[in-house]
């Protein structure tokens, strides 16, 4: 027998934990319903084994949604499942679904854990196990998030084994330190096989003997304790029914090793009991490195899922914003002020639909077309619920606004903002007037009578389906006018009111932001549109010019849902586009918009051998609206691409001319710094190219010596800082590919998924993206996060009723504001147990911040809780104020209640 199998540790045998499990992709290369049929059969068989065949236990992948999916079909088996979970025969939790971490909001990760553990508790027991076996890298704040739910460990596979910069991770166990300093005991699954190193053990004894020998050899090289892990299972696998006998046989044939039928949780607890934490290697920050180890095999990081099926990422962003920034906060104030019930159950259902799209095979866009068609439906369902609840909440608040004494010929428009600091921004409002009143133009004024520059976009008679609490609950005809205007001030977590009045004459403005036919400028920024559709920016304070912005770049892509891979012979088209038409579409003292209509003549697809792009071409239209506002340094951009060709990647380029070797980008509860220059793996260890593109959550920025160039966007999720002399910032608009797993990728050693054709991932559709440029002379992490959040959330409005009595002032009102500190809001909602309210904040900065929250009404109680809202510690509060200190990168939840509640 191999010598490595005769060595005994000082305190006895090596303990080999044999864990039967399945990794359950809810949807992937088959649709959800097809996989659910497998799930039902697996669960039926598992229950039989656990109850009748002395089968000790089974690890069910850390997701509780499988309980919902199964019991929807077999509700009569709920008590059996509860019994097996309570008796520790089935391990579930802590997740509701196992999410991709980079493509979803930080708040959604918290709700995911809360929902998963809550559901597990309903079934008797949830394991406090940071189980993330197959996620494509890990965010820097995951240690703090897990610890906020009482989880002090993580078990994972991808995203580590760097080695490129002296950070090679050498053992199975190490300490992972998050952005705020939170520490987890990390258990790294085998590099070569992840969660499948004991998959499908052969029944032939000699073959099984060699197989186990090989695996133990690999495990003993990396372990720091006497505990080893054999994972018996993989994606969608049934339990091996003779595993109990196999474990007994192993114990008879391996000297120095004791094999036990175990669970992942039992393994982690055993390692925790023996690991010498002070001796373990410590790593910090996000874990998103590609593989640099010769044992890498399929340990890919798969970076380009950030840009696959970009339409899904945009739908997710808009659904998250509607829930987190509008439906929940407004429902808090509506239930407080309007006396209506907080719609907890409806909000939770909206969250469920949203979270069901967050598994990595779903939100990443790397599944078959049927899966992503159903994702779009779930996003629609989530958004329909949250949008309606936000509307109802604005109605409840507006019903309490005192509009007595206003001119009843004018319509009051209440404009809302849900940030913690005062906001500003553009609004497009559909204003309704009784049928028969012809609308030629509109005049908008503040309550003080000041004229608000506006632009009427449309006026027509149309039917409007209104709501039962409105004056006309049926479907009457109205005169509808769509108007665009800029609000320079809306109070924090509150509203302001303006008045809309029909007029016959068009307003001629005395001044304008348009200074030449293709130029617009305000106090800070000048925008010069070139004849090819690109534009130059001038920072009027410093005199710096940023030429050639918004250049289009299009190259071929023979990759797949996971990987960008250009063809052997690529043709890259770079420039402003062809057939460029430039038009001014808004010209007011407060805002100006120039539309740039371009097209690119691009190859239809890859050639038949996929080595080049075809000679045949088609036009792809790219329409961009560039907006300049009087009162901000922000240049807003809305781009619509009508994609009509295949197998390509389209990006927009921004030459920043900021000479830096790193970028900083928004991440979940953090601002992360990443290097421009990337070291690639050598041939001996290569399994995939190290990515030069990165995820962004809200913004990306390059800064150096008081010179900065930032891009804000919630819609777009992938960027690259090119290593050219201009440090060009490339923002990916779309990747158009035709396979789930490419049959012939060049940037990875094998397809990461089956080579199924997925025509839907060619993205032959129209897509509209929103992003903005901020030229600055040095801006803090906290301020960047604040600006990005405010831009993503925007403003919303509700059409009120004149002549109403109410207890709220008509001019403006703030229900909550941050009067000290520059923290960011993650959530404002009802507490999960219904006792009070929760405001969740975080500090993006690298230094501590004292924060003061000021409410409209007096506070009765205030306490700090963990993220699960289970622990509580009183904090300072007086009258309408709560004072608390946030350490660097810290996330904190505050439970509060008002006097009289």
> The CATH number of the domain where 846 resides is what?
2.60.40
CA distance 182 to 891: 11
**Interval 683-712 mean pLDDT:** 94
In a domain, 642, yes or no: yes
Statement to judge: residues 457 and 493 lie in one domain: yes
Between 2 and 287, the higher pLDDT residue: 287
Q: Dump pLDDT digits (tens) for 848-895.
A: 999 999 999 999 999 999 999 987 888 989 999 999 999 999 999 999
At residue 477, the pLDDT reads: 74
Task: State residue 577's pLDDT score.
Answer: 77
pLDDT of residue 77 exceeding 50, the answer is yes
Q: Which of 136-150, 424-438, 543-557 has the lowest mean pLDDT?
A: 424-438
Tokens representing 597 are: 């209509």
Same domain, 54 and 150: yes
Pairwise CA distance, residues 813 & 792, whole Å = 22
CATH number at residue 450: 2.60.40.2210
Q: Does one domain contain both 41 and 159? A: yes
pLDDT of residue 166: 43
CA distances from 386 to 97, 381, 768, 890, 891 (A): 20, 9, 22, 28, 25
Looking at the domain assignment, is residue 329 inside a domain?
no
Of the three residues 247, 281, 301, the one that is the final residue of a domain is 301
Residues 547 and 502 in one domain: no
Q: Residue 383 pLDDT > 50, yes or no?
A: yes
Task: Give the residue with greater pLDDT, 264 vs 6.
Answer: 264
| Average pLDDT over every residue of 563-567 | 97
As a whole number of angstroms, the distance between CA 474 and CA 640 comes to: 35
* pLDDT band, residue 8 (cuts 50/70/90): very low
Q: Got the DSSP string for 476-488?
A: -EEEEEEEEEEEE
Percent of the chain exceeding pLDDT 70 equals 96
640-662 average pLDDT score: 97
Say if residue 479 is in the same domain as residue 530: no
Spatial neighbors of 12 by CB under 8 A, at least 6 apart, are 226, 258
If you write DSSP's letter for every residue of 563-583 in order, what string do you get?
A: -----SS---EEES-EEEEEE
Total domain count, the chain: 4
Backbone angles phi, psi at 501, to 5 degrees: -135, 130
- Model confidence band, residue 266 (pLDDT cutoffs 50, 70, 90): very high
Q: Is residue 623 part of a domain?
A: yes
Tell me which of 492-501, 569-578, 622-631, 806-815 is least confident.
569-578
Structural domain range at position 547: 514-654+714-768
Q: At what angle do helices 32-52 and 78-86 cross, to 10 degrees?
A: 60
Are 139 and 19 in a shared domain?
yes
Same domain membership, residue 479 and residue 530: no
- The pLDDT score that the predictor gives to residue 473 is 56
| Average per-residue pLDDT for the chain | 93
Nearest to 764 by CA among 741, 743, 730, 738: 738
Is 132 contained in some domain? yes
Name the pLDDT band for 9 (thresholds 50, 70, 90).
Answer: very low
In angstroms, the CA 854 to CA 867 distance is: 22
**Averaged pLDDT for residues 450-473:** 79
Indicate whether 192 and 89 sit together in one domain. yes
Rounded to whole angstroms, how far apart are CA atoms 64 and 95?
6
pLDDT of residue 843: 98
In this predicted structure, the answer to whether residue 346 has a pLDDT above a threshold of 50 is yes
Confidence of residue 462 (pLDDT cuts 50, 70, 90): confident
Contact between 197 and 172 (Cβ < 8 Å): no
Task: Kindly state whether residue 846 falls inside one of the protein's structural domains.
Answer: yes
Q: What does the pLDDT look like over 745-800, one tens digit per residue?
A: 999 998 889 999 999 999 999 999 999 999 999 999 999 999 999 999 999 999 99
Determine, yes or no, domain membership for 662.
no
740 plus 832 within the same structural domain: no
Interacting residues of 440 by C-beta distance below 8 A, sequence separation 6+: 459, 502, 503, 504, 505, 506
Q: Is the dihedral of CA 212, 217, 222, 226 positive or negative?
A: positive
pLDDT band at 165, cuts 50/70/90? Answer: very low
Q: pLDDT band at 170, cuts 50/70/90? A: confident
Do residues 225 and 211 make contact, with C-beta atoms less than 8 angstroms apart? no
Return the pLDDT at 466.
66
The string of pLDDT tens digits covering residues 13-63 is 899 999 999 999 999 999 999 999 999 999 999 999 999 999 999 999 999
Q: Is residue 7 over pLDDT 70? A: no
Long-range pairs for 543-548 at CB < 8 Å and ≥24 separation? Answer: 544/707, 544/775, 546/654, 546/655, 546/656, 546/657, 546/709, 546/775, 547/655, 548/655
What average pLDDT does the segment 489-499 reach? 98
Whether residues 161 and 30 fall in one domain: yes
**What tokens appear for 457 in the block?**
């976009």
Q: Is position 316 within any domain?
A: no
Q: What's 256-286 look like in SS3? A: CEEEEECCHHHHHHHHHHHCCHHHCCEEECC
Which whole number is the average pLDDT over 330-336? 96
Give every CB contact of residue 252 below 8 A, 6+ residues apart in sequence.
none
The pLDDT of residue 407: 86
What sign does the CA torsion over 94, 97, 101, 107 have?
A: negative
| Cα–Cα dist 286/695, whole Å | 11
**Predicted structure pTM score:** 0.96
pLDDT tens-digit readout, 515-524: 999 999 999 9
What pLDDT shows up at residue 42? 97
Taking the CA atoms of residue 523, residue 525, residue 528 and residue 533 in that order, the dihedral angle to the nearest 10 degrees is: -140
Residues 756, 759, 762, 768: is their CA dihedral positive or negative? negative
Q: 159 and 66 in one domain?
A: yes
- 12: confidence class by pLDDT, cuts 50, 70, 90: low
| Residue 825 pLDDT exceeds 50 | yes
């Amino acid at each position: 027998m191999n010598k490595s199998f005769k060595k005994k540790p000082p305190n006895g045998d090596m303990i080999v934990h044999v864990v039967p499990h399945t990794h359950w992709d809810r949807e992937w290369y088959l649709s959800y319903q097809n996989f659910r049929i497998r799930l039902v059969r697996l669960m039926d068989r598992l229950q039989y084994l656990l109850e009748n065949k002395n089968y000790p236990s089974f690890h069910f992948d850390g997701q509780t949604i499988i309980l919902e999916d199964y019991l929807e079909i077999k509700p009569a088996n709920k008590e059996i499942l509860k019994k097996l979970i309570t008796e520790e025969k089935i391990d579930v939790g802590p997740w509701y679904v196992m999410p991709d971490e980079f493509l979803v909001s930080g708040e959604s990760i918290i709700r995911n854990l809360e929902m998963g553990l809550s559901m597990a508790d309903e079934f008797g027991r949830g394991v406090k196990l940071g189980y993330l076996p197959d996620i494509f890298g890990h965010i820097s704040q995951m240690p703090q998030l897990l610890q906020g739910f009482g989880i002090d460990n993580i078990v994972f596979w991808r995203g580590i084994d760097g080695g490129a910069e002296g950070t090679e991770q050498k053992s199975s166990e190490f300490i992972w330190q998050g952005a705020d300093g939170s520490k987890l005991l990390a258990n790294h699954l085998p590099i070569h096989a992840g969660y499948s190193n004991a998959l499908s053990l052969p029944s032939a004894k000699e073959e099984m003997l060699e197989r186990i020998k090989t695996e133990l050899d690999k495990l003993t090289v990396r372990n720091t304790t006497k505990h080893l892990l054999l994972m018996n299972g993989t994606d969608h696998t049934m339990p091996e029914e003779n595993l109990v006998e196999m474990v007994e046989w192993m114990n008879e044939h391996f000297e120095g090793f004791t094999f036990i039928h175990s669970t992942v949780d039992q393994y982690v607890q055993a390692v925790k009991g023996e690991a010498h934490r002070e001796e373990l290697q410590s790593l910090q920050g996000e874990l998103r490195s590609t593989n640099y180890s010769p044992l890498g095999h399929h340990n890919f990081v798969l970076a380009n899922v950030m840009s696959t099926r970009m339409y899904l990422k945009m739908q997710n962003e808009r659904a998250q914003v509607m829930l987190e920034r509008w439906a929940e906060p407004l429902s808090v104030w509506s239930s407080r002020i309007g006396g209506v019930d907080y719609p907890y159950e409806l909000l939770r259902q909206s969250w469920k639909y949203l979270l069901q799209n967050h598994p990595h095979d779903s939100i990443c866009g790397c599944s078959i077309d049927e899966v992503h068609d159903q994702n779009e439906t779930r996003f629609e369902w989530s958004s329909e619920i949250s949008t309606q609840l936000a509307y109802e909440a604005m109605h409840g608040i507006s019903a309490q606004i005192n509009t007595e004494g206003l001119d009843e010929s004018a319509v009051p428009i209440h404009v809302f903002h849900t940030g913690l600091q005062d906001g500003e921004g553009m609004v497009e409002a559909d204003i309704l007037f009784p049928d028969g009143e012809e609308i030629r133009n509109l005049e908008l004024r503040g309550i003080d009578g000041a004229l608000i520059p506006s632009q009427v976009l449309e006026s027509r008679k149309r039917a409007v389906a209104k709501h039962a609490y409105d004056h006309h609950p049926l479907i009457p005809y109205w005169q509808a006018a769509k108007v665009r205007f800029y609000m320079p001030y809306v109070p924090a977590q509150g509203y302001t009111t303006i008045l809309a009045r029909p007029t016959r004459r068009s307003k001629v403005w005395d001044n304008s932001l348009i200074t030449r036919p293709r130029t617009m400028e305000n106090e800070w920024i000048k925008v010069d549109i070139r004849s090819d559709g690109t534009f130059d920016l001038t920072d009027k304070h410093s005199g710096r010019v940023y030429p050639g912005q918004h250049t289009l770049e299009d190259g071929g892509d023979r990759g797949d849902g996971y990987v960008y891979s250009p063809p052997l012979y690529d043709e890259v088209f770079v420039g402003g586009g062809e057939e460029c038409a430039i038009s001014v579409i808004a010209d007011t003292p407060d805002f100006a918009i120039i539309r740039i209509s371009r097209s690119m003549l691009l190859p239809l697809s890859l050639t038949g051998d996929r080595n080049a792009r075809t000679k045949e071409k088609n036009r792809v239209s790219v329409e961009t609206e560039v907006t300049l506002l009087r009162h901000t340094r922000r240049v807003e951009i809305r781009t619509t691409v009508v994609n009509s060709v295949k197998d390509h990647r389209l990006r927009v380029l921004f030459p920043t001319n900021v000479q830096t070797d790193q970028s900083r980008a928004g991440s979940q509860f953090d601002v992360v710094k990443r290097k421009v220059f990337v070291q690639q793996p050598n041939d001996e260890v290569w399994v995939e190219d190290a990515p030069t593109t990165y995820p962004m959550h809200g913004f990306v920025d390059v800064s150096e010596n008081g010179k900065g160039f930032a891009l804000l966007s919630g819609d777009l999720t992938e960027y690259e800082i090119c290593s050219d002399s201009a440090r060009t910032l490339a923002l990916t608009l779309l990747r158009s590919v035709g396979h789930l797993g490419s049959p012939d990728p060049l940037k990875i050693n094998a397809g990461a998924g089956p080579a199924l054709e997925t025509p839907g991932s060619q993205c032959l559709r129209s897509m509209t993206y929103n992003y903005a440029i901020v030229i600055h002379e040095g801006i803090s992490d906290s301020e960047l996060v604040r600006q990005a959040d405010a831009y993503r959330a925007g403003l919303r409005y509700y059409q009120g009723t004149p002549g109403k009595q109410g207890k709220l002032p008509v001019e403006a009102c703030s229900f909550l504001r941050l009067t000290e500190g520059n923290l960011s809001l993650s959530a404002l909602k009802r507490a999960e147990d219904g006792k009070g309210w929760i405001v969740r904040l975080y500090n993006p900065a690298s230094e501590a911040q004292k924060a003061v929250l000021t409410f409209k009404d007096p506070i009765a109680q205030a306490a700090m809780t963990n993220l699960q809202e289970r622990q509580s510690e009183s904090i300072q509060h007086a009258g309408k104020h709560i004072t608390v200190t946030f350490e660097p990168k810290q996330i904190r939840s505050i439970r509060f209640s008002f006097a009289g509640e």
